Amino acid sequence: MNEKMALMQQLLLEIPKGKVTTYKELAHAMGTRGYRFVGQLLNKNPEPNAFPCYKVVSSGGDLGGFAYGDAEKIERLKVDGIVVKRGKIVDFEKKLHRF
C-alpha cells in the first residue's frame, strides 16, 4: 500500500491551482479501477496539507468526502479558487484536471 500511497501523493501534486480531479481520474492515473480504494487511500493521507487530497471530487462534480468534513473541504477549495454551490463544483468541466 505504501507504493500506491506514494503514487497517489505524487499525482495530487500535479493538480494545478484552481483545478480539481475525480476519484475515477485519479484511479485511472494510478492504473486501477478501484475508485473506492482510491477514496480509502485519500482518507488515510498522512499529510493533507502537503498533498492536497481536498482537490479530489466525485465524477459528477459533487464534493465527495474529506476526513475533515465538507465545510473544511469547501474552504480549502475556495482558497484555491474553486467555487462550490449546493455541494457541487461550479463550472466543473472547466475546472477538471485530467492526467
User: Which residues are 96's β-sheet partners?
Assistant: 20
| Vertex 78: Cα angle to 69 and 45 (nearest 5) | 45
Give the span between the Cα atoms of 6 and 70, in whole angstroms. Answer: 25
Cell of 61: 462534480
Our answer to whether residue 53 is catalytic in this structure is yes
- Choosing from 26, 30, 38, 53, which is the catalytic residue? 53
Cβ pair 30, 36 in contact under 8 A: no
DSSP run (H or E) holding 25: helix 23-29
Catalytic residue list: 53
